[in-house]
Amino acid sequence: MNEFVIYNGEVYTADKAPIAYNNRAFKYGDAFFESIKCNGHYPLHFHLHYKRMVKAMISLKMDIASFPTEKQWLAYIVQLLRKKKSFGASRVRLQVFRGGEGLYTPETNQVNYLIESSPLTSVPYTLNTKGLLVEVYDEMKKQYSPLSAFKNGSSLQYVLASCFKKEINMDDVLLVNDKNKIIEANSSNLFWIKDGIVYTPSIFSGCIDGVMRAVIINNLEKSGLIRIIETQGATQQDILDADEMFISNAIQGIQWIVGYKEKRYFCQITKKIVELINKETFGD
């Protein structure tokens, strides 16, 4: 069966997409990407994804006029998912990179883009039944910058963190910033709960400005049921003193952490937050 992608607004079979070997994403990491969960042909929380992409365009000094509008992006995603007959859950990945050639100095700031998709097993956000075991990865420290809040084309820190996770046989690893504060997981934002209050690192700590992070914060503030506080990050003692801990991203939703070192965590408030997010996203 043929796999399809959309490149600069046109549908191609995946093996025929006209991406040159000398594109700037390949040569310089001059790119960013976005991962979006879709329900049938509908991308979830797309307005938040689009806002983050526009911020990335501005930070990378790319030409906004060459970037599809939110309405155009939605139409392309629907077109691709219909072409692939994707009626359940799927992950859509949008890759945007600066066009033209040049060395470090680009010839143009106009962009090219590629849209691809892959199937997922579940439409609702499903909490993991077996909690995750995590450890801290601190060999490379992440620093706050205009690029730290979105997923840019230079992801070596996350690749190396994943290699470390595999070496030590953990489910995930937690990353630290240049101030030695724990700020996020390898592909997710971090939350911890102490005495009924939810804490999460601010984007000014250097963590990704995650879409699901924004959904969680917005819904907790709107519901008024659980207080949430943004911090400069967590110390190891903050994590060890916590009652619950979870991570979040746009594809999996919320994943519960059961253990860090000898500490074991509960999952009571975390379950309520998952229910709240599913109700907000999918209705009753």
Residues 106 and 137 in one domain: no
Q: Which of 119, 152, 171 is the last residue of a domain?
A: 119
Closest to 121 in 3D by CA, of 77, 79, 91? 91
Q: Which of 119, 141, 160 is the last residue of a domain?
A: 119
157 and 275 fall within a common domain: yes
Total number of domains constituting the chain:
2
Nearest 5°: CA angle at 57, between 54 and 61? 145
Q: What is the pLDDT of residue 211?
A: 98
Q: What is the CATH number of the domain that holds 73?
A: 3.30.470.10
Residues 84 and 144 in one domain: no
Return the percentage of the chain with pLDDT > 90, whole number.
96
- pLDDT of residue 1 exceeding 80: no
- Residues 134 and 157: their CA atoms lie apart, in Å, by 17
pLDDT band at 284 (very low <50, low <70, confident <90, very high): low
> By residue range, what is the domain housing residue 48?
4-119
- pLDDT of 279 reads 95
Is 126 among the domain residues? no
Q: Which residue has the tokens 């859509």?
A: 92
Q: Is residue 178 part of a domain?
A: yes
pLDDT (0 to 100) of residue 225? 87
Distances (CA, A) of 62 to 31, 59, 66: 10, 8, 8
State pLDDT tens for residues 43-92. 999 999 999 999 999 999 999 999 999 999 999 999 999 999 999 999 99
- CATH number of the domain bearing residue 219: 3.20.10.10
Last residue of a domain, one of 119, 146, 164: 119
- The answer to whether position 237 is within a domain reads yes
Asked if residue 184 and residue 112 are part of one domain, the reply reads no
Q: At what angle do helices 211-223 and 46-59 cross, to 10 degrees?
A: 130
Is 124 part of a structural domain of the chain? no
Q: Would you say 91 and 35 are in contact if contact means Cβ atoms under 8 Å apart?
A: yes
In a domain, 270, yes or no: yes
| Beta-carbon contacts of residue 203 (< 8 Å; ≥ 6 apart) | 148, 149, 209
CA distances from 201 to 120, 178, 193, 265 (A): 29, 14, 12, 19
Helical segments of the chain, H only: 24-28, 46-59, 70-83, 156-167, 211-223, 236-241, 268-282
Q: Does 249 lie in the same domain as 110?
A: no
Measured over the CA atoms of residue 140, residue 146, residue 150 and residue 155, the dihedral's sign is negative
Answer yes or no: do 87 and 182 share one domain: no
Q: Are 207 and 162 part of one and the same domain?
A: yes
Instruction: Please check whether residues 162 and 204 belong to one and the same domain.
Output: yes
Question: Distance from CA of residue 191 to its chain's centroid?
Answer: 15
283 pLDDT tier (thresholds 50, 70, 90): confident
pLDDT at residue 5 is higher than 80: yes
The one-character DSSP state at 2 is -
- Rounded Cα distance, 49 and 184, in Å: 19
Looking at the structure, tell me whether residues 165 and 54 fall in a common domain: no
Indicate if 178 and 275 belong to the same structural domain: yes
Give φ, ψ of 11 to 5 degrees: -85, 130
**Mean per-residue pLDDT of the chain:** 96
Place of tokens 């079979």: 13
pLDDT over 70 at 182, yes or no: yes
Kindly tell me if the per-residue pLDDT of 172 is higher than 60. yes
Band (pLDDT 50/70/90 cuts) for residue 2 is confident
Residue 276 and residue 136 in one domain: yes
197-228 pLDDT tens trace? 999 999 999 999 999 999 999 999 999 989 99
Identify whether residues 103 and 165 lie together within a single domain: no
pLDDT digits (tens, 9 = 90+) for 119-166: 999 999 999 999 999 999 999 999 999 999 999 998 999 999 999 999
Q: Which residue has the higher pLDDT, 184 or 225?
A: 184
> Does residue 125 lie within any of the structural domains?
no
Domain annotation covers residue 137: yes
Q: Find the angle CA(218)-CA(244)-CA(259) to the nearest 5 degrees.
A: 130
Q: Is residue 127 part of a domain?
A: no
